[in-house]
Amino acid sequence: MNLSRRQALALGGAVVTVSLIPIDFAKAASDATMADIKTFTGGASVAEGGIELTTPEIAENGNTVPISVSAPGAVSIMILADGNPNPGVATFHFSDMAEPSAATRIRLAGTQNVIAVAKMADGSFTQTSRSVKVTIGGCGG
């Protein structure tokens, strides 16, 4: 590939811009994600902590990213991928025979935050999120 000096500089600038974006995204989830959380919680306030989400820090292949989640006392846990075309991933439901923990493999379209929201037996909600770097995206292609 032959790059002129001008092109090379433009490319470098683009890379810097892209690498800055995730910092802004770290806090605020997308509107679609917030809407999904609201549907799940019915508008109730969501606390932080009390739920553990395990994801790889870097996923080579966004088509199968192993994740596991556990939240003592939870009856349901919803998993969301903030940067996917549709943020919903899966919702686990636990009866009293099951331990409130589960593992699965999910698709991530790109580097993004994975969010877990747990509904506790007493009706309260708690959430956590983890950022996953994806080298090759897993949607479309």
Partner 1 sequence: MAKIKPRVKVPKSVAAGEYFTVKTLINHKMESGQRKDKKTGKKIPRKIINYFEATFNGKPVFSVDIQPAVSSNPFFQFSMKVEEAGKLAFKWVDDDGSVYETAKSIKIG
Q: Cβ atoms within 10 A of the Cβ of 26, count?
A: 11
* Element at 74 (helix H, strand E): strand 74-81
Q: Smallest distance, Å, CB 137 to partner 1?
A: 11
Size of the site for partner 1 (CB under 8 A): 31
Residue span binding partner 1 (CB under 8 A) among the ranges 9-17, 46-54, 90-98, 123-131: 90-98
101 sits near partner 1 (criterion: CB under 8 A): yes
124 sits near partner 1 (criterion: CB under 8 A): no
116 sits near partner 1 (criterion: CB under 8 A): no
Cα–Cα distance for residue pair 62/19, rounded to 1 Å: 19
**What are residue 5's phi and psi, to 5 degrees?**
-60, -40
Residue type, 73: G
Footprint of partner 1 on 64-83 (CB under 8 A)? 64-65, 68, 81
* Closer residue to partner 1 (CB): 63 or 124: 63
Cα–Cα distance for residue pair 19/22, rounded to 1 Å: 7
Residue span binding partner 1 (CB under 8 A) among the ranges 6-14, 49-57, 86-94, 125-133: 86-94
Residue span binding partner 1 (CB under 8 A) among the ranges 23-31, 42-50, 118-126, 133-141: 133-141
39 sits near partner 1 (criterion: CB under 8 A): no
Find out whether 81 and 108 touch, Cβ atoms under 8 Å.
Answer: yes
Take residue 21 and report the two structure tokens written for it.
């974006």
